[in-house]
Structure 1
């Protein structure tokens, strides 16, 4: 995917239908016949084929979102022959559903306008007065200069004499008051105070109504722009844009700090979130889940499972805090050991005992067929007979998965800090092995592979906690185990010291090969799991 030019980034060319039919059988193994190779034709690099569980998306700017609104407003304005501000209020009332708006409007225009908070078509849209303040006003607020189409002087229908505002009980000239089509008149001071409080204090925008109790007449954009200050008017329009994105099922703000991009995706409807994990990438370089708005990729876990898991972890916060402690005791000599790296291969400095930081078992078993660190032993809960024993078994099962989930999260953070050490090691390899800076990039790429795999492993334990025990679960845990073992081996290689030129060459080859293997195991786990959702292979203990 290229980011050059004016084309929309991150838009796959092979568009497909919005979602999948619930009863549709998807043949994921079918492949088309390859084209006959023509030796005279130039070699063309093909774009990577999109997976059936991937979605297409576009990254849009705020101005593009504003243009989308203006385009829809102009269409409705021309079709219904109403002012631009009325078209905007109607569209917001019907949540930008133009078809539903037209159906209701043509059926009964007056009722549609009244329900949206507008004046019925048989009555004037507004009865307004001029902006210049009266000398008797108490406020010294400055209003924005400039004429207004809704605030023109109407001397022919203008009442005479003083007017007592029903809110502040002060007398004003009618020229310093304002009323909408509902004929509820108040002084401009009270209007300014009211509108500023609604926008700045309460964060309201499209639903700001008349100050009269029980009146549902909506205040138009022009009125707000003419009455409030420039800063509040700017905030008002920002709130309108935010509401437009929030109302659209195909738009979502990027949740990362200081990012103003909006993601558009039409292939992740709510009904498909039990089969898809719609991960997208913003122009800011960060991943997010379009389905739930999670500010990172949580593949391969469904959005609902993520919410249930985070709620459960929050409910068991004391246990979670205890499990995230950075120290453990050596199971052989009981010496306190602190984990200061991402690798789980630990060596006690006192007794030299090598063990696994996760399960505290001997490390010698982790490179053999007896490796079972990732799999929870269900036998521990078989003999639970009474309520207390069952509760204990349930807690032990949760702690098993949470311990590994939290450990991979912690290790990923440590591996991220390991970048600095890796850069120093890369400089050392440059100086000692006569390698260029490009040739030592394999170390950084290996760290990237480790962090990516650890995040996937972290969420895989969340998924495993909610999976029902069957043959598919066994296969899932086998893939999980193979990836975890590959990650630990790569992490161990990355922490090796460099002694001479020969060791650099061998270490480079070992790290490169192991990083490629980690990437392969990661792709196998991810591809099999996400395809399993489409094939309905996974069964969960909760409703998804």
Structure 2
């Protein structure tokens, strides 16, 4: 940026020492128990992703800006232009910069070196704004980008920059001189000096976004209002389920809710099916018939088979045979014209409804469990601790059981989408899948009943007040811990089997699974099936 008067350059948008924060939190692929030793918890293979707050991102940006500034002997504003152009890839910038520095400068819009020096007569010189055409402007009333050639009044510059920030989004980071043929970049120092606080804040958000959205291994948390990003560590093995600091768990790959053991494609297909108009079309086909004359679909809402199409058609016909009512003499003879299609349509709707209802029911149960866990942690645990004289830390088994319920509800929910898309001809695989799913579901219902109903009966009164005695508490504790462990094993085996495509238990020689004591069941569940 070049000002005609003697004002100094605006300070860089970020000072190198403006951010002082710790790195984001790292998580492993599994939630380890508190008793796990530190060596196991700190294995490099378990470090899969990092949650980054805005301050962490700014810290990284400032480190790169400082590095480029010192290495290239350029200003902060020029380093920002270079890094934004190269999508924050310092290595690629370094390689190309030392090969042809001048070419890189011209390509990114850093055309001029240094500020314009005023001549002795500059104080008396008058300028014309090339946007609003106002004339006889003083030197302090105009400025230019680093082209040192095109001068515009401060008012027009402010409007130009503000419009870019509010309408161009990330494009404002590479804003050029208003002169159409001039490639000179408008640096962040100039933008910082000429924008309002509101626009400056937006520009900062775009600046932070440029770092995240240029990295293939960093994505924003999809939770509304969350300003954190998640960085997937290099060397990840395809386990994409992550949990942000805002407590939202999601699939890093597709941005949807965690859906292990399903692949992202199946999840997206299921979501599209739930949101599409295809099911409405199937309903129309199954429960309506087209008017023989105008072809509009009509729903039968009276007992009589005499149908009259709505205006302006007004055609009268028989609902059963679609024949002209004026010439209708009976339609008791059986025909197969469209009845097969309607039967298939009804069966398709019934099948879809079966899977969707159970998917939605488990989703609702999962949301309710999340609320119950929040109430437990904030209200009930401290009261229970006082009642049975046990530290809150020793009541974590209740929290763990509810976390297990939430996770199992999530898995069970997605197994119904998995079942919906299973090929019908794979009869053996389908039967065995349904058996595994059913056993896991029964185990989950026992655990959920114990944590919800039994806890209310044994530890809480009808009004929600704590009524537990230590003896009742001990029995409840043993029962809940056992069910939590058993249910977790059921679901881990179910997930493992589905992720492997049930390849270990399905082959052309395997008979259908009808008996829970089947040897294949024991191969899956081991000691749980004795």
TM-score where L is the length of structure 2? 0.63
Distance 1:116 1:428, change over 3 A: closer
Q: Relative contact order (C-alpha < 8 Å, sep 6+): which is higher?
A: 1
Q: Which of the two has greater helix per residue?
A: 2
Distance 1:386 1:12, change over 3 A: same
Match of 2:410 in 1: 455
Runs of 5+ unmatched residues, structure 1: 15-42, 128-152, 323-383, 538-544
Alignment check: 8 A CA contact 1:277 1:303 kept:
no
- Which of 434, 446, 449 pairs up with 2:401? 446
Match of 2:162 in 1: 196
Distance 1:509 1:104, change over 3 A: closer
Distance 1:514 1:230, change over 3 A: same
Distance 1:402 1:156 in 2: 80
1:462-473 alignment runs, 5 A limit: 462-468=417-423, 470=426
Deviation at 1:408, TM superposition (A): 0.5
Deviation at 1:416, TM superposition (A): 3.7
2:273 counterpart of 1:309 = no
Alignment check: 8 A CA contact 1:58 1:264 kept:
yes
Match of 1:498 in 2: 457
- Which of 245, 256, 268 pairs up with 2:212? 245
Distance 2:86 2:503 in 1: 34
1:130-141 alignment runs, 5 A limit: none
Deviation at 1:388, TM superposition (A): 5.5
- Which of 241, 260, 283 pairs up with 2:245? 283
Alignment check: 8 A CA contact 1:61 1:260 kept:
yes
SS in 2 for 1:293: coil
Between structure 1 and structure 2, the one with the greater Rg is 2
2:274 counterpart of 1:297 = no
Deviation at 1:45, TM superposition (A): 6.2
Match of 1:154 in 2: 118
Distance 1:112 1:404 in 2: 59
Alignment check: 8 A CA contact 1:57 1:266 kept:
yes
SS in 1 for 2:178: coil
Alignment check: 8 A CA contact 1:207 1:218 kept:
yes
Distance 1:263 1:163, change over 3 A: same
1:150-229 alignment runs, 5 A limit: 154-156=118-120, 158=122, 161-171=125-135, 172-182=137-147, 183-204=149-170, 205-229=172-196
Match of 2:487 in 1: 518
Match of 2:312 in 1: none
Match of 2:48 in 1: 56
Deviation at 1:244, TM superposition (A): 0.8
Match of 2:40 in 1: 47
Alignment check: 8 A CA contact 2:219 2:252 kept:
yes
Distance 1:159 1:214, change over 3 A: farther
Deviation at 1:287, TM superposition (A): 2.6
RMSD between superposed Cα atoms in Å:
4.4
Deviation at 1:187, TM superposition (A): 0.7
Runs of 5+ unmatched residues, structure 2: 1-20, 31-35, 284-337, 459-467, 507-530
Alignment check: 8 A CA contact 1:278 1:290 kept:
yes
Match of 1:30 in 2: none
The number of aligned residues is: 406
